[in-house]
Amino acid sequence: MKQINVTSPLSDSVITSLQAGDRILLSGVIYTGRDAAHKRMTELISAGKPLPFDICGQTIYYAGPCPAPPGRVIGSIGPTTSSRMDAYSPDLIQKGLRVMIGKGPRSQEVIEAIRRHKGIYFAAVGGAGALLSLCVETAECVAFGDLGPEAIYKLTVRNMPLVVAIDGFGNHEIH
Amino acid sequence: MLFWNPYKKVKGFCRMRIVEAIDITQAVAELCIKANTCVGEDIYNALDRSRQDEALPNAKWALDTILENAVIAKRENLPICQDTGMAVVFVGIGSDIHVNGDINQAINQGVRQGYRDGYFRNSVVQDPIDRINTNDNTPAVIHYDFVPGDRLSITVAPKGFGSENMSGVSMLKPSDGAEGIKEFVVKTIESAGASPCPPIIAGVGIGGTMEKAAILAKQALLRDVGSVNADPYWAEFESELLAHINALSIGPAGFGGKTTALALHILTYPTHIAGLPVAVNIGCHANRHQTVEL
């Protein structure tokens, strides 16, 4: 099966060209965010305050990395369970988030939000944290540094291996 | 070494083997690092066999990725997974052992050192509601057992919560019987889907009390993948349940296919006339654990 090269942030035309089950290699800029960061971001939205980075058109990777060993950019960084972010994702998608990366299935509400706003959800292979860390070229903490591994990191990645789990039409290929 | 034993009815000396707390700390630190960076040979081989069996392209690719990840982790000395887990420690204390020092402190100090030196993620919060990180991955969850002899065995099983969160206990009725057990196990694994990082190892504890079943389920994860239950009834039960689970077609990383579980292990214990406790503890495809004997 061919692997499609995709650059983040993703354009509308790229999102609509991808289909559930496609295997991609993602390069470009993505942001990490998991439970605690999502909670804070939705609290900021509720309070009418700006988010710590412009989320419009962006990609969030549900991941909390290990600390970087000497000489490395980052430690192991595989995906965490996406369903824990289901409660927060529709609000963020509404605010312009387009792409999510994680592991496991999503709720019907998230699938519907993805379909309505032409978003996309990629699955990374859960438990492949060492391999995925080698795809990270730069890492910089951009928000919520006090949360440690749960802070938001801006990553530049190269050829991150992923599968389209829910495409922009709401079709899904994940259990 | 000879020790005065004040509890002996007959005055005299008894022989105890001394284990220094600092040696326990050192052993636990090394086990934390090894368990988090080296996939067990039994598991690697089982993954490799599944890979050869898998026909669906994305499922096969997921297994390739998992196997490659194991090779990279070992070669680069990186954690297999960023969720380096909460440290679960099983200790078997020989009756002829005397630990010189505080064993709880020694184990927790080992966890602290191992997670620091390994550059592992600290994933433990002090209070379940306040959720402030303890910043050293302690405390560990420690289970002690007393066994005959003069050896001290320590197993460190770092448990990630992608799989732990999908585990469950059910207090079945005796009338639910074998069918009720199978139904609960399959339902638990089916509703877990791809979240616990399949292909999983399923640990099943049956009998005892609620907490006994849960501990048995965790201990069942420590058995070698590919080993057969010594009791023929339970061996048959395991292989039948494993076939049911693999028929769910969740598959590696949730991409469908034949391999949802690499193995299912059952441990049982006598129980009450009124009860049938069953626990399912799901282990991810790395199912990390390492043992040493001092």
Q: Which residue of B has its CA nearest to A128?
A: B69
Neighbouring residues of B34: CB distance < 8 A, sequence distance ≥ 6: B290
Q: What are phi and psi of B189, to 5 degrees?
A: -75, -35
Q: Chain B residues with CB inside 8 Å of A103's CB?
A: 162, 194-195, 197, 253-254
Is A21 an 8 Å CB contact of chain B? yes
Q: Using one digit for the tens of pLDDT, what is the confidence trace for B147-180?
A: 999 999 999 999 999 999 999 999 999 999 999 9
Neighbouring residues of B126: CB distance < 8 A, sequence distance ≥ 6: B132, B133, B134
Q: What is the ipTM of this complex?
A: 0.94
Is A148 an 8 Å CB contact of chain B? yes
Please compute the mean of the pLDDT values over residues A93-111 and round it to a whole number: 96
Contact between B197 and A123 using a beta-carbon 8 Å cutoff: no
Structure tokens at A110: 């998230």
Query: Which pTM does this prediction carry?
Result: 0.93
Contact between A104 and B62 using a beta-carbon 8 Å cutoff: no
Chosen for mutation from A24, A32, A34, A66 (greatest number of chain B CBs closer than 10 Å) is: A66
In order of B39, B129, B190, the CA distances from B248 in angstroms are 26, 35, 7
Q: What pLDDT score does B4 carry? A: 55
Q: What pLDDT score does A174 carry? A: 79
Closest to A100 measured CA to CA, from A50, A26, A159: A26
Is A125 an 8 Å CB contact of chain B? yes
For chain A, the average pLDDT equals: 95
Q: How far apart are CA B198 and CA B22, in angstroms?
A: 37
What is the residue type of A146? D
Neighbouring residues of A63: CB distance < 8 A, sequence distance ≥ 6: A32, A34, A77, A78, A79, A80, A101, A102, B82
Distance from CA of A104 to the nearest CA of B (A): 5
Q: Which residues pair with A23 in a beta bridge?
A: A3, A163
Q: What pLDDT score does A3 carry? A: 85
For chain B, the average pLDDT equals: 95
Contact between B254 and A23 using a beta-carbon 8 Å cutoff: no
Q: Which residue of A has its CA nearest to B254?
A: A175
Q: How far apart are CA B26 and CA B19, in angstroms?
A: 12
Q: Chain A residues with CB inside 8 Å of B286's CB?
A: 127
Q: Using one digit for the tens of pLDDT, what is the confidence trace for A4-43?
A: 999 999 999 999 999 999 999 999 999 999 999 999 999 9
DSSP state of B83: -
Q: Note down pLDDT in tens along chain B; length 294 residues.
A: 555 554 554 445 567 999 999 999 999 999 999 999 999 999 999 999 999 999 999 999 999 999 999 999 999 999 999 999 999 999 999 999 999 999 999 999 999 999 999 999 999 999 999 888 999 999 999 999 999 999 999 999 999 999 999 999 999 999 999 999 999 999 999 999 999 999 999 999 999 999 999 999 999 999 999 899 999 999 999 999 999 999 999 999 999 999 999 999 999 999 999 999 999 999 999 999 999 999
Q: Using one digit for the tens of pLDDT, what is the confidence trace for B12-48?
A: 556 799 999 999 999 999 999 999 999 999 999 999 9
